[in-house]
Amino acid sequence: MKAVIQRVSKASVTINNTEVASINNGLLVLLGIVLEDTEEDINWLVKKITNCRIFNDASRVMNLSLLDTKGEVIVVSQFTLHASTKKGNRPSYIKAARPEVAIPLYETFIKNLQSVLPSKVQTGQFGADMKVRLLNDGPVTIIMDSKNKE
């Protein structure tokens, strides 16, 4: 399971010209799921994301976590995070989990994330054509991979 987390001042998701999610000060989480992912991957990512100290303290040092700041979150499914560009110029998405596997894991990820955060976790819609807007704060962008825990 891969997540690209972006610290944002603002973020929103629009589907069919309707805004379905909008936050200030928090994280936009792009989530990619593969067939081999399990609840163990979910739990590792939720703990890492909520405790990652990437928000500024009073001294402008990245020393605070999402839990410390009570920041907001939008989670967006993004199968393209598992694109393989090894051969040719057209990415292959064969590693990305099919919806019947990915949707339950995506929903469990959101539920587990929600269980530790005080504010409502907002989302896009799995499989929809979404327009994602963000104002990356910093910019701060971090890639987390539950299969490559660096």
pLDDT in tens, 63-84: 999 999 999 999 999 999 999 9
- Which residue's structure tokens are 């976790």? 121
pLDDT of residue 33: 98
Could you say which of 6, 79, 109, 122 is catalytic?
79
pTM of the model: 0.95
Q: Is 69 a catalytic residue?
A: no
**Per-residue DSSP letter, 88:** S
Measure the CA–CA gap between 32 and 81, rounded to whole angstroms: 5
pLDDT of residue 150: 73
Q: How many residues does the chain have?
A: 150
pLDDT tens readout for residues 22-36: 999 999 999 999 999
- Which residue's structure tokens are 């701060």? 140
- In angstroms, what CA-CA distances link 55 with 25, 60, 114, 115, 138? 10, 8, 19, 21, 10
Please, what are the domains in the chain? 2-145 (3.50.80.10)
Could you say which of 78, 109, 122, 123 is catalytic?
78
Q: Is 14 a catalytic residue?
A: no
CB contact set of 143 (below 8 Å; sequence gap of 6+): 2, 3, 4
Q: Which residue positions in the chain have pLDDT lower than 70? A: none
Q: Are 114 and 121 in contact (CB under 8 A)?
A: yes
Q: Are 25 and 146 in contact (CB under 8 A)?
A: no
Q: Is 109 a catalytic residue?
A: no
pLDDT of residue 118: 93
